Amino acid sequence: MSAVELNYACNAPQKRVPSRMLYLFACFMVAATLGLIAAGGMITSTGSGLSVPDWPTTYGENMFTFPFSKWTGGIFYEHSHRLIASTVGFLTIILAVWLHVSRPSRALKILGWCALVAVIVQGVLGGLTVLYLLPTWISVMHGCVAQSFLCILVTIAVALGRMRQSATISPYVNTKSTSPRWALALALVVFAQLIAGAIMRHTESGLAVPDFPAMYGSYLPSLSEDALASYNESRAFDYQMEPVTRAQVMYHLVHRVGAVLVVAMMLVAVWRYRVKATGSSRLARAVNLIAFLVVVQAGLGIATVLLRKPPLFATAHVVVGAATLAASWRLFLHARLERGAAVGAATAKASASNRPIATMPNVSHENLAGAAS
């Protein structure tokens, strides 16, 4: 879908204007999903992944009637996560049906059902993670689907919000400066970083490099056999930690490099959408939020290493990472919509004066589902 068509889908007069309650419910779903990610993060941070070894039951009992008196130790984190996940799944059914019945647009109807499919897949992956005793690849997929589900919900919320607003933008917006490609690049880099973080967490590589900002006293650490032996000797005598493998050190280093790339892309986004796009207050606010989240996320990552992975810090690092992805995807959607509104306004002005203008090329027609996938 081109930027002009996307803007039209959100603002066309013949579309049904979604109710305020539907929009607020979609926003609540985004917040609830972040809460679900937090609950899942606490499981990994506290090592409670197999505290409940069966699924879908809980120690042979219906998980919805499992006695609260038995919610002790890691069972509390694992069982709470299951109940929160079930609640989010039920709310997703409501959202999908609500979008289907209210029919704000065909794109949103499709996205509603895509969200339902995603949350079902997420639940099945969560169950398989337990049944197969926490295999890394299933655990990482479980995390990736959660982030994708979050982005679908953000798309729905942004589209509903724009459909409830008038299709107006500042006449001073520079369409080149509001190109969505930089926001999309930022979102993709953040998503890749979250994948790297998931691999690091599920391979127990979070403290494979226990110092910061240097890495075993060097900014370009070696991965040779001799260097690895030296690292493990230092871990044993200086840090009182278990030895690590070369793969674990590599996973950790990749995550640190990814963090630098995220910061670099954030600075590019600030330049493109705040400094250059001087007419768009919406994009400026969106990128301000991203900059704030990236700074907080960097601080949490550093603290997680230096404080030896306290569960609350490690989990907050996961949640703020997900929020950064959501904010980056939101920036992309708003930039795409504003680009379409700007080009549409220029097209209307040129048509009125019978002057040809340069139009942006169409990407593909249909709906927001393509942007969310």
Q: Give the residue extent of every domain in the chain.
A: 3-208+244-372
Quick check: helix, strand or coil at residue 61? Answer: strand
Distances (CA, A) of 189 to 111, 177, 282, 325: 23, 20, 22, 9
Q: So what's the pLDDT on residue 168?
A: 45
pLDDT of residue 167: 43
Q: Is residue 252 over pLDDT 70?
A: yes
pLDDT of amino acid 276: 76
- Burial pattern 30-56, b for ≥16 Cβ within 10 A else e, equals bebbbebbbbbbbbbbbebbebbeebe
Mean pLDDT of 28-41: 98
In this structure, the number of other CB atoms found within 10 A of the CB of residue 102 comes to 18
The pLDDT score that the predictor gives to residue 4 is: 46
What is the reported pLDDT for 189? 98
- Per-residue pLDDT tens digits for 119-161: 999 999 999 999 999 999 999 999 999 999 999 999 999 999 9
Is 198 a residue whose pLDDT tops 50?
yes
Give the pLDDT confidence score for residue 275 in this predicted structure.
Answer: 82
> What is the reported pLDDT for 26?
97
**Distance (Å, whole) CA 220 – CA 136:** 27
- Looking at residue 360, its pLDDT comes to 45
Instruction: Give the pLDDT score at 319.
Output: 98
The residue to which tokens 């917040």 are assigned: 31
- pLDDT for position 165: 78
pLDDT at 208 over 70: yes
Q: How far apart are CA 44 and CA 52, in angstroms?
A: 13
Residue 337's pLDDT band (cuts 50, 70, 90): confident
Mean pLDDT value across the chain: 88
Q: Work out the pLDDT band at 342, boundaries 50, 70, 90.
A: low
Residues 6 or more apart whose Cβ sits within 8 Å of residue 209: 215, 216, 221, 249, 252, 253, 256, 305
8 has pLDDT over 80: no
| Confidence grade of residue 176 (pLDDT, cut at 50, 70, 90) | low
Is pLDDT above 70 for 267? Answer: yes
| pLDDT at site 175 | 55
- Residue 373 reports pLDDT greater than 50: no
For residue 340, pLDDT beyond 60:
yes
On the CB side of 152, how many CA atoms lie within 13 Å of its CA?
A: 26
Tokens 């690849």 locate to 137
Q: State the chain's maximal CA–CA distance in angstroms.
A: 79
Q: Give CA–CA dist 149/147, Å, rounded.
A: 5
| Model confidence band, residue 6 (pLDDT cutoffs 50, 70, 90) | low
pTM, entire model: 0.88
User: Does pLDDT of 106 surpass 70?
Assistant: yes
The SS3 of residue 351 is helix
pLDDT for residue 1 is more than 80: no
The answer, yes or no, to whether the previous bond of 53 is cis (omega within 30 of 0) is no
pLDDT interval class at 194 (50, 70, 90): very high
Q: Is the pLDDT of residue 365 over 50?
A: no
How sure is the predictor about 166, in pLDDT bands with cuts at 50, 70 and 90?
low
